[in-house]
Chains A and B, each alone.
Chain A
Amino acid sequence: MLYLLEQCLNGIQLGMLLFLLAAGLTLIFGIMDLVNLAHGSLYMLGAYFAATFAALTDSFLAAVGLGLLATLVAGMVLEVIAIRPLYGRDHLDHVLGTFGLLLFFNELVRLIWGPAGLTLSLPPEMLTAVQVLPGIYYPLYRLVIILATLAVALLLYALVMRTRIGMLIRAGASNREMAGALGVNIKLLYTLVFGLGAALAGFAGMMQAPLSFVQIGMGENILILAFVVIIIGGIGSIRGAFVAAIMVGIIDTIGRAFLPDLMRHFVSYSAGSSAGPALSSMLIYTLMAAVLVFRPEGLFPAAQR
Chain B
Amino acid sequence: MSVPLTPRNALVAGVIGILALVPIYAAAGGNTFMISLFTRIVILAIAAVSLNLIMGFGGMVSFGHAAYLGIGGYAVGILAKEGVNSGFLQWPLAVAASALFAVTVGALSLRTRGVYFIMITLAFAQMVYYVAIGLDRYGGDDGMTIYKRSQFGGVIDLSNKTAFYYLCLALLLAAIYLVWRLVHSRFGMVIQGARSNERRMRAIGFPTYRYKLLCFVFAGMLCGLAGALLANHTDFISPALMHWTRSGDLIVMAVLGGMGTVFGPVIGALALLVLEEALSGITQYSQIILGPLFLLVVLFARGGIDGLLVGGRHG
A-to-B contact residues, CB < 8 Å: 29, 35, 37, 82, 85-86, 89, 91-93, 95-97, 99-108, 110-111, 220-221, 224, 227-228, 230-231, 235, 273-282, 285, 288-289, 292-293, 296
Contacts and interface: CB of A to CB of B under 8 A. Distances in A.
A105 to B, nearest CB: 8
Given A278-B130, A278-B131, A292-B112, A103 B291 contact: yes
B260 to A, nearest CB: 12
B137 interface: yes
Contacts of A29: 115
B290 A282 contact: no
Contact of A91 (B111, B112, B115, B294): B115
B142 interface: no
A230 B120 CA distance: 10
Interface residues of B, number: 45
B298 A101 contact: no
Given A95-B61, A97-B299, A224 B123 contact: yes
Contacts of A108: 288
Contact of B244 (A89, A111, A224, A273): A224
A95 B136 contact: no
A285 B63 CA distance: 15
Contacts of B229: none
Nearest to A289: B108
B27 interface: no
B70 to A, nearest CB: 13
Kindly list the 3 A-B residue pairs having the minimum CB-CB distance in the complex, ordered from nearest. A278-B134, A100-B294, A104-B291
A97 B61 contact: no
A99 B243 CA distance: 14
B66 interface: no
B127 A282 contact: yes
A224 B297 contact: no
Interface stretch (B10-18, B31-39, B248-256): B248-256
Question: Main SS of the interface on chain B?
Answer: helix
Interface in B275-314: 285-288, 290-295, 297-299, 302
A100 B290 contact: yes
Given A100-B290, A100-B294, A91 B255 contact: no
A296 B112 contact: yes
Contacts of A224: 122-123, 126, 244
Given A35-B115, A95-B118, A289-B108, 13 more contacts: A86-B299, A89-B298, A91-B61, A95-B248, A95-B251, A100-B293, A107-B285, A228-B119, A275-B134, A278-B135, A281-B130, A292-B109, A292-B112
B124 interface: yes
Residue of B118, B244, B245, B298 with most partner-chain A CB within 10 A = B298
B244 A220 contact: yes
B122 A96 contact: no
A129 B250 CA distance: 47
A233 to B, nearest CB: 12
A228 B123 contact: yes
Interface of B: 55, 61, 63, 108-109, 111-112, 114-116, 118-120, 122-124, 126-127, 130-131, 133-137, 244-245, 248, 251-252, 255, 285-288, 290-295, 297-299, 302
B54 to A, nearest CB: 12
A178 B275 CA distance: 45
A298 B118 CA distance: 15
B63 A95 contact: yes
Given A35-B115, A100-B295, A274 B136 contact: yes
A101 B248 CA distance: 12
A278 B139 CA distance: 13
B131 A282 contact: yes
25 contacts: A82-B295, A91-B118, A92-B61, A96-B252, A96-B255, A96-B297, A97-B294, A97-B298, A100-B293, A103-B290, A103-B294, A107-B285, A108-B288, A111-B285, A111-B288, A227-B119, A274-B134, A276-B134, A278-B134, A281-B134, A282-B130, A289-B108, A292-B108, A292-B111, A293-B108
Given A107-B287, A281-B127, A296-B111, A100 B292 contact: yes
A279 B123 contact: no
Contacts of B252: 96, 99
Contacts of A275: 134
A110 B285 contact: yes
A24 to B, nearest CB: 15
Contacts of A86: 298-299
Contact of A100 (B109, B115, B131, B291): B291
A285 B119 contact: no
Contacts of A99: 245, 248, 251-252, 294
